[in-house]
């Protein structure tokens, strides 16, 4: 039996996000609709980079993006409230994606620029710090959007359960970053090469 390709699974996850979007429209759930629309747009980013900028990332990146978006969007439809570990899962998955992008970008710059020589310990620290920084910005965004929603008497677009929840989110952000720091060099090699080739093409080398 043939195993579905990463691209096929990514399309199925996109369809899943689309299904959640339809459900949100039918139930008039604004937070689900907003997250589904924005998330669905994000899933097309790898294809957009490939078409408009000739940046050919691996199919695994499209799958990774689609999975993170699907888990978050589906969570807004109920699991964030009913499944205690769902928020932890989505944060670890999304943080790993952010860490992967950070690692691939910096590693590609390291290979592209001959005057750069970034040791592995630096890359590990950079991945952790950049992922945690993004996580902090996300928590601030959750606080801000929730406060604005309450002030305007609207349904909050993002889920936020307080300071303790935010700290736990950052712990799982760190877990995702550590996974990439440990395994990123092996599994992101193709994407680092693609980014390096793109940088060399753009710089005319």
Q: Give the predicted TM-score (pTM) of the model.
A: 0.91
Nearest Cα neighbor of 108 from 42, 188, 205 is 188
Q: What is the CA radius of gyration of the chain?
A: 18
Q: How much is the mean pLDDT over the chain?
A: 89
Q: What is the dihedral of CA 153, 154, 156, 157, to 10 degrees?
A: -150
Q: What is the mean pLDDT of residues 35-51?
A: 95
In this predicted structure, the answer to whether residue 3 has a pLDDT above a threshold of 80 is: no
- What does the longest C-alpha to C-alpha distance in the chain come to? 56
For residue 157, name the pLDDT band (cuts at 50, 70, 90).
confident
Total residues found in the chain within this entry: 205
Residue with tokens 């609207």: 154
Q: Helices then strands (H, E): number in the chain?
A: 9, 0
**pLDDT tens column, 167-196:** 899 999 999 999 998 887 788 999 999 999
* CB atoms inside a 10 Å sphere around CB 19: 15
**Angle, in degrees to the nearest 10, between helices 30-43 and 6-27:** 160
**pLDDT tens column, 58-81:** 999 999 999 999 999 999 999 998
| Domain parsing of the chain, residue ranges | 1-82, 84-205
């Amino acid at each position: 039996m043939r195993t579905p390709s990463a691209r096929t699974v990514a399309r199925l996850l996109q369809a899943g996000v689309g299904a959640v979007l339809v459900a949100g429209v039918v139930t008039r759930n604004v937070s689900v609709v907003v997250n589904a629309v924005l998330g669905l747009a994000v899933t097309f980013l790898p294809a957009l980079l490939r078409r408009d900028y000739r940046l050919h990332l691996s199919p695994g990146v499209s799958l990774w993006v689609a999975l993170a978006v699907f888990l978050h969007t589906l969570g807004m439809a109920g699991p964030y409230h009913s499944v205690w570990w769902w928020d932890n899962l989505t944060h670890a998955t999304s943080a790993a994606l952010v860490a992967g992008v950070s690692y691939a970008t910096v590693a590609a710059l390291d290979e592209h620029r001959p005057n750069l020589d970034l040791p592995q310990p630096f890359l590990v620290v950079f991945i952790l710090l950049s992922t945690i920084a993004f996580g902090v910005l996300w928590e601030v965004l959750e606080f801000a959007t929730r406060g604005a929603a309450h002030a305007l008497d609207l349904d909050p677009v993002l889920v936020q359960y307080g300071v303790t929840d935010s700290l736990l989110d950052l712990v799982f952000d760190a877990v995702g970053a550590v996974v990439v720091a440990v395994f990123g060099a092996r599994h992101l090699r193709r994407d680092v090469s693609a980014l390096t080739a793109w940088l060399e093409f753009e710089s005319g080398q």
